[in-house]
Amino acid sequence: MIKLNGRFKLLSGNPLDSYVTPLTKNMTLPLVLANKVGLILEEDIDSPQGYKFILRKKPSVNSKLSKEIEYLVSTDLQHLDEGDVVRVEGQDSNVRVLYRRKSNQNSILITEQCNHYCLMCSQPPKDIDDGYIIDEVFDLIKLIPQDTLEIGFTGGEPTLFGDKFLDLINLTKSYLPNTSLHILSNGRSFQDIKFARDYAKIDHPDVMIGIPIYSDDPVMHDYIVQAKNAYNETIRGILNLKSLNQKVEIRVVIHKLNAFQLSSIADFIVRNLQFVDHVALMGLEIIGFTRANLDLLWVDQIEYKDELSKATQILRNYGMNVSIYNHQLCLVNEDVKFAYRKSISDWKNEYVPECGKCLKKEECGGFFTSSALYKYSSNLKPFRNNIEEDCI
Ligand code: SF4
């Protein structure tokens, strides 16, 4: 697991503001560029002048500190590297890594507000004015390198910002024209055809919206998301988006309430939404509200593996693009391996002690750190060679 939050130790200077800043290791930048970036110093050497701040990875034993702002980087943030972007809160030296240059899974939080209250929400919504987050993302987008392959926007519900959300997509298209954009949304805002049209008009060259459907039964879906009429609005949103030729992915997070109905959900999708671009069948992350509702939601992946196979085959038979995310390789049937993906972001990916001698660890997606620490299947079967039947 890679830590994205932490604290720097202030060594010198008097930082007053919070700032979103890219990092560099280049010690010879001209002043006009240096004062916009933070310099990472890997060695114990004297500090160059003119940088917005300096991050020392080692304590200064033999070198002189500048009178400017300098921090000592904590052990768990030593991974910080050229091109990363961080937010540092000046007074407290709190750090949040907003973008990692080496990661292909940069997921950017837009808001913690949401009009759902899902039983298994991993980012429990907050009823607060957190508009500063999206304002910060406007700054962040301008700092992300243009050769970045993909970024994601997540929440909360990003579309709650309405026109401001659309402005952000527009800005992203302008600054990162070659970067794929993946947006997580509950889709309900797109039931408003004007909003859907304004979104489509942006004409982003490579954007996909991931929208959850948790059941083919509207009552069950609304129960899971704890919002009345959510199902109808979500389906209308998907239909509007597809009528405007926008890319849509359906996301089904699997838990005890829907695990044994997966083939019904797949049937519903192939009959009514066959035109969507991707279907992701996703394992549960044991974090946020899931922990509070664990008895209601927890199901061992081994218990629904045949239902998962059935649903995956239905989607495949109808020519749909299907992926299985967040599952352990030894808990799915061989017939779904074509759809199996290592999907958990590197910063929250973990393996458990049972995986130690497994020969397919490289192929296996492993666990969310949150789940590995909390609850996981007692039916793991480490592979002892590369032949499926020979797992222990
Ligand atoms: S035992 Fe192997 S296949 Fe099973 S979860 Fe661990 S690494 Fe994955």
139 shares its domain with 89 = no
Geometric angle at alpha carbon 316, from 270 and 215, rounded to 5°: 45
The DSSP secondary structure of 191-222, one letter per residue, reads GSHHHHHHHHHH--TTEEEEEE---SSHHHHH
Domains of the chain: total? 2
193 shares its domain with 315 = yes
From the CB of 344, is ligand 1 less than 6 Å away?
no
pLDDT at position 64: 77
232 shares its domain with 111 = yes
Best mutation site among 301, 352, 354 for ligand 1 pocket (most ligand atoms within 8 Å of CB): 354
**Interval between CA 361 and ligand 1 midpoint (Å):** 6
Structure tokens at 321: 């693009």
* 17-63 pLDDT per residue, tens: 888 999 999 999 999 999 999 999 999 888 888 999 999 999 888 77
The DSSP secondary structure of 86-124, one letter per residue, reads EEEETTTTEEEEEE-TT-S-EEEE--S--S---TT-SS-
Share of the chain above pLDDT 90, in %: 81
Q: What is the pTM of this model?
A: 0.92
From the CB of 90, is ligand 1 less than 6 Å away?
no
Atom of ligand 1 nearest to the CA of 359: 2
- Interatomic CA distance for residues 286 and 305, integer angstroms: 19
From the CB of 329, is ligand 1 less than 6 Å away?
yes
Burial class (CB in 10 A: 0-12, 13-18, 19+), 300: middle
pLDDT at position 237: 98
At 185, give phi and psi (nearest 5°). Answer: -145, 155
From the CB of 382, is ligand 1 less than 6 Å away?
yes
Residue range of the domain that includes 28 = 5-99
Letter string b/e over residues 50-61, b meaning 16 or more CB atoms within 10 A of that residue's CB: ebbbbbbbeebe
155 shares its domain with 235 = yes
Structure tokens at 353: 């002690």
> Is the peptide bond between 156 and the residue preceding it cis, with omega within 30 degrees of 0?
yes
Give the distance from CA 31 to its chain's centroid. Answer: 35
pLDDT at position 66: 73
45 shares its domain with 179 = no
pLDDT at position 60: 82
At 3, give phi and psi (nearest 5°). Answer: -80, 135
**Interval between CA 255 and ligand 1 midpoint (Å):** 20
Question: What single-letter amino acid sits at 293?
Answer: N
Q: What is the mean pLDDT of residues 224-248?
A: 98
User: 121: closest CA among 336, 292, 246?
Assistant: 292
40 shares its domain with 147 = no
Best mutation site among 328, 332, 350, 379 for ligand 1 pocket (most ligand atoms within 8 Å of CB): 328
Q: Which of these ranges, 107-116, 267-276, 317-326, 383-392, has the smallest mean pLDDT?
A: 383-392
- Interatomic CA distance for residues 154 and 283, integer angstroms: 18
Per DSSP, 37 falls in state S
Q: Considering 77, 99, 121, which residue would you say is the last residue of a domain?
A: 99
124 shares its domain with 236 = yes
Largest interatomic CA distance in the chain: 70
Ligand 1: residue whose CA is nearest its atom 1: 382
**Interval between CA 352 and ligand 1 midpoint (Å):** 8
- Residue 300, domain CATH: 3.20.20.70
* 280-329 pLDDT per residue, tens: 999 999 999 999 999 999 999 999 999 999 999 999 999 999 999 999 99
**Interval between CA 392 and ligand 1 midpoint (Å):** 11
